[in-house]
Amino acid sequence: MYSLIQQAVDTLSYFGLVLLMFAENLFPPIPSELIMPLAGYLSSQGKLSLIGAIVAGTIGSVLGALPFYGVARWFGHDRMSAFVERHGHWLALSRRDLDRADRIFKRHGGWIVLFGRLVPGVRSLISLPAGVYAMPIGRFLLLTASGSAIWSAFLAVAGYQLAENFRALEAYIGPASKLVLGLLVLAWLYHIGKHYWRRRHG
């Protein structure tokens, strides 16, 4: 994976960063935790501009967030409600759960999208509720760009500071990403278990 990322950046420079960060948002196993620190390291070697690398990473992230947002926006709240009414029991979801999520997103959706872009494992998926609950595209782009810029800058500056040791960053953030995903899965399984326990035992 690392050699492919390095080859793409070496060959395509900033455009390669845009493509990699775009792909990272669509396919989360491609790690931004390795892409942007590499860009920072190359900046420390004078091969890239640090600011240019951050801008390219941010552009790629914003572009990569749009497909999930677009699909979710097309699917929409009404279709989601109908789906939950028909199949929600398989996912331990009820109409009340959906209404509660709707209220939460309407009240705190901006913060959810902004900070969601800073959480490994959540960064890509946060576009889905933004689309389902019809967050205005301008607001979505602004919040996504802001969160993506912070994340890209953090990783690139860390890679710049660590220089040739930049890959050590992925050794720390990679496990943290897996931990976040693991906790989300456990929370989901707990929710499903509680749902079926209530249905069975009234």
* Predicted pLDDT of residue 62: 96
pLDDT digits (tens, 9 = 90+) for 28-85: 667 777 888 888 888 988 889 999 999 999 999 999 999 989 988 998 878 877 876 7
pLDDT for 202 beyond 60: no
Asked if residue 129 lies in contact with residue 110, where contact means CB atoms within 8 angstroms, the answer is: no
Separation CA 175–CA 172 (nearest Å): 6
Q: How many CB atoms lie within 10 A of CB 122?
A: 17
* Predicted pLDDT of residue 66: 94
Task: Give the per-residue SS3 of 59-77.
Answer: HHHHHHHHHHHHHHHHHHH
pTM of the model: 0.76
pLDDT digits (tens, 9 = 90+) for 94-136: 666 667 767 778 888 888 889 888 877 677 778 888 888 888 9
**Rg of the chain's alpha carbons, rounded to an integer?**
19
pLDDT digits (tens, 9 = 90+) for 151-195: 999 999 988 888 766 666 666 656 656 666 666 667 666 665 665
